[in-house]
Structure 1
Amino acid sequence: MTDPCSAAFAIPGDIATLTGGYIYERRLLEGLRALGHDMQHLELPASFPDPDPAQMAQAVAALRGVDPARPLILDGLVFGAIDTRGLAGVRAPVIAMCHHPLALESDLAPARRDHLFRTERDNLELARHVLVPSPHTRRILIESYGVPAGRITVARPGTDRPRLPPAPVAPPLILSVGILHPRKGHDILIEALSQLPELDWQAVIVGNPWDTAHAARLARLAAASPVAGRIRLAGRVSADELERLYASASIFALATRFEGYGIVFDEALAHGLPIVSCRTGAVPDTVPPQAGLLVPPEDAQALAEALRALLTDPARRQQLQRAASDAGHRLPGWDRTAREASRVIQQIAADDRPAGGAGMGD
């Protein structure tokens, strides 16, 4: 067996940031190190995908400084936005990490969306390989960005087993987890909950205030809701508190406008929670049909009706709970994610190794 080779992983800002993408990359970095790879962690400016010229120059210089013998995994917030000419000067073989194309983000001005599409499309031509979290993102890159199928590997996120047994509270807790950003659709969820005043429930929305203006808008929407006393915007919580909330919940709800994968859905399945979400992006591929109710995005009334169906029919809710629990038990761990990425790194290192020369891990 080939010895694990050296590689690098470039990530913008604090790797401990609480988003699905950062959790994925932190666990991947840890997993690759556990497999024996000498992984250089390169911290780039946190401003990506919107760096100023000085930060762009700093990132390009850092990437150009990576040893060409180290395959370089480049985070999608950077890869999709970095100057193409700067990226072309990077000597290390680049492995793009694409959770979902940046041009598919919510609330982008048309000119900004077009710029991100063109930049990411051009940059993908420079990547030796691409890692994606889902078959859905793989299809987008093939069909809309022209990436050859053979240059894309799906490295599905892993899942940790719950640390607490289910202990649902009364009234039933509807739990939503996702950064406070327009794409996550918490505004739609609040609107849907506002249509259920006659039912008995409580709701908690957990999420890092990624977009401060949107977080403030959500607070105003919740305060103005006729059910304001039953909706709690918890913001960022500790891992222990999040585990307690999952154990206490009866329903997981996320009115997302788009997901390249959606790690929180796997977390909900692992905790045996029926899911109410939207038929968009990778969600239908991630949420088994027996374990959730999916409605069109941007449709608060349809979301409210799905929540109503589970709140008023305990037998149906229990049926979805059992299916969610069964699906959750079958989810892979993070070790498999690392092994998929490791195979890509090893193959690129082998392809670049001089004929008859020593391996990088030798």
Structure 2
Amino acid sequence: REGTPAVSSNQLDDKDGREEEQVVRGLGILPAQLELSTKELPWLVGDSATQRSRFAFWLQTLRRARGFRSVLVNSFPGEAVTGTAAAEDDDGPQRQAACPRVLPVGPLLVLAGCNVERAKGAGDDGGVAATNINNHPQPCSKNPSMWQADSTCIRWLDAQPAASVVYVSFGSWVGPIGHDKIRELALGLEATGRPFLWAIKDDPSWRAGLPAGYAGSVAGRGKLVDWAPQDDVLGHAAVGCYLTHCGWNSTVEAIQHGVRMLCCPVSGDQFINCAYITRVWEVGLKLGSVRRDVVRDCIERIMGGAEGTRLQEKMDALRQRAVTAEARCLAQGNLRSFVNEIKRDHPLLTQIYNIL
């Protein structure tokens, strides 16, 4: 069937009752090293009927996209970008549109107003982190979240050693992951002996999984908040890694600030994002499970030693591609090109807009 990727099994013998996992082949739009399994596809949510419905939706969306002139992507350019505005902006209406040109336009948010000297990775000097020379936080941008952030997070981070804190958040819309997993994750964080900041919703569906008296037992070293000002937290020099669900916005924010990621995807595109983080960019590790010993060991791997240093070096290089002046100029140029194309090809719409 046209548009359906081929799959090949990588587990033919299923004697243990495990679901057969297959590797997706033939997706030319994705890097070969991504090698997604069928369990990592974005429509695998809910029962089989829901999955079929979601697959049909994605297939229809891709087919309709074939007729687009341009597609704006909230991402940053790769090392070799094709179809950029710089190469095609002057071609005019005669430009052939066999496929849409893909224009990276992000991240457009300039990290202005931040005076953060980051000290990420292994081998820091253990000094106390500070957001600026006066030890007062300078927010990078207004908080776009609909949730009320806990304003005490930054002050708490100010008192922690540089690159020492594990920041944990599963985003604003991910459903509860289960009491057993919450308990194991909590005990794993405690077992590291490292400071951690955990944005965990103040709701029984999440917090009922915490061990009894947990907040008190980790007080001083672990801070639990209902919601954190994430951009400011990730931009703080005390944060050494980010245990994340791999939502795309969270992924981009982590890259903007150069924070290594410990991946725990839950649903949707998070598995694909995780594959990019761990297999393509190599700026993070994937949690094989949330058992306390696995959580502890993975945090130790990412926060120290040769492996942690390598991950940070990869992240630093990726961050340069995303937030340098050159990358921002390209993103802004792509956005201008898109607007200019509309003005050029649809002058009547432009006139109506100007009148309104």
In the superposition, the TM-score normalised over structure 2's length comes to: 0.49
- Larger radius of gyration, structure 1 or 2? 2
TM-score (norm 1): 0.48
